[in-house]
Amino acid sequence: MTEKEVIEIANVALAEEFELEMEQMVPEARFNDDLGLDSLDAVDMVVVLEQAFGFKLRDNQALREIRTLDDLHKYILRKKSELEG
Amino acid sequence: MEFLRPFGRVRKEGLQKERVPTPCVFVANHLSFFDVYCMGTLPVTNFSIVVRAWPFKMWFYAPFMRAAKYLNSEQLDQEEFMAQCRDVFDRGGSVLFFPEGHRSRDGELGRFYSGAFKVALDNDVPVVPLAISGTDKLLPRGQWVMRPAEVVVEGLEPVYPRQFMHEDVPHLAMRKYVKQAIAAARKRR
C-alpha cells in the first residue's frame, strides 16, 4: 500500500463515517475547528480507521497529539511501517 | 407553546403516553429556535435537554435552564456528562438531544453526533426518534417577522440498544439507523 493509498483510504473512511465532504479533507484541516469532530468522534475515528486498515491504532499518548488530518496520515504511516518493520 | 398558536397549528403524532417508553433518550432533528418549545408536545415532562454552552450565557434563560436541569454538553468532560445522564435516568427522567448540534441551515438533516446513542447504549435505554417539520417556516433564517406554518412533531418507533449489540461499533450503527428513520419520516411530509 503506497502513501497515497493510505491517505485515500483514511480520508474516504472518515468522510463516509462522519458525513464530511471530500473537499474538506485537506492535510491542514483541524479535527475540531475545521471538521467539527468532538472528543467522542475521536474515539470512533480510531475504530473506523482500524476497521479500514485492519491493524490496531490505539496509542493514547500519540493520538492526543494529533490535531490535523496531516498529523493523522503521518501517524497511520508510522504505525504501518512499524508493523512491516 | 401557546404563543405559537396565532401562527399555526402544532400537531403531534405517535406521541401517546403508552407509545413512549421511559426513561428514554429523545433524539430530534433541529430546524429552529422553536423546536425546544415544541417539546411541550411530549407525553412526559421529566426530561433534561442537552444543550451547548452558549444558551447558558443568556441571562433571561439560564436560571430556567438550570432549574430544569439542562445538561451543558460543552462544559462537562465526557465522563462527567455520562454521569449526569445516568443520574437523570436513575431518577426516572429522560434525556433529549438535538444530535445535529445546531439548527439546520437549509432545512435538510445535518450530520448527527454520536453522544446521544452512546448514552442510550451505555444506560440500556431506548431512543425515541422525533421528526420535526415546519418550525423552520415560522421564522425563516434572516427574517424578523413570524409567518404562519404547520408544525408537526412525530414520535417514531422506539429503537432499542439490543438491536445493535452485534455491530462492531453499536452506537455508530444506532446513529445511522435513527437518522435514516427521521429522514424517512420527514420525507413523507
| Interchain contact B173–A (C-beta under 8 A) | no
Smallest Cβ–Cβ distance between B78 and the set A17, A40, A44 belongs to: A40
Please give the Cα distance from B124 to B108 (Å, whole number): 30
We report the CATH number of the domain holding residue A14 as: 1.10.1200.10
Q: What is the mean pLDDT of residues B156-176?
A: 94
pLDDT digits (tens, 9 = 90+) for A33-73: 999 888 778 888 998 999 999 998 887 788 888 999 999 99
Annotated domain spans of chain B: 2-187
Q: What is the CA radius of gyration of chain B?
A: 16
Rounded to the nearest angstrom, the minimum Cα separation between B180 and chain A is: 13
For residues A56 and B162, the model is more confident at B162
Question: Among residues B68, B62, B31, which one has the least CA distance to residue B47?
Answer: B68
| Interchain contact B183–A (C-beta under 8 A) | no
How many domains does the structure of chain A reveal?
A: 1
Please give the Cα distance from B170 to B161 (Å, whole number): 8
Q: How confident is the model at residue B44 (pLDDT cuts 50, 70, 90)?
A: very high
Q: Do B113 and A40 touch (CB under 8 A)?
A: yes
Q: How confident is the model at residue B62 (pLDDT cuts 50, 70, 90)?
A: confident
Return the pLDDT at B189: 80
Q: Which residues contact B133 (CB under 8 A, 6 or more apart)?
A: B31, B151, B152, B154, B186, B189
Q: Do A41 and B113 touch (CB under 8 A)?
A: yes
Question: Among residues B42, B25, B6, which one has the least CA distance to residue B153?
Answer: B42
Q: Which residue of B has its CA nearest to A50?
A: B168
Return the pLDDT at B130: 98
Q: Do A39 and B78 touch (CB under 8 A)?
A: yes
**Residue B166 pLDDT > 80, yes or no?**
yes
Beta-strand pair B47-51/B25-28 = unpaired
By residue count, chain B amounts to: 189
Q: Are B153 and B38 in contact (CB under 8 A)?
A: yes
Q: Are B147 and B139 in contact (CB under 8 A)?
A: yes
Q: pTM for this structure?
A: 0.86
**Residue B5 pLDDT > 70, yes or no?**
no
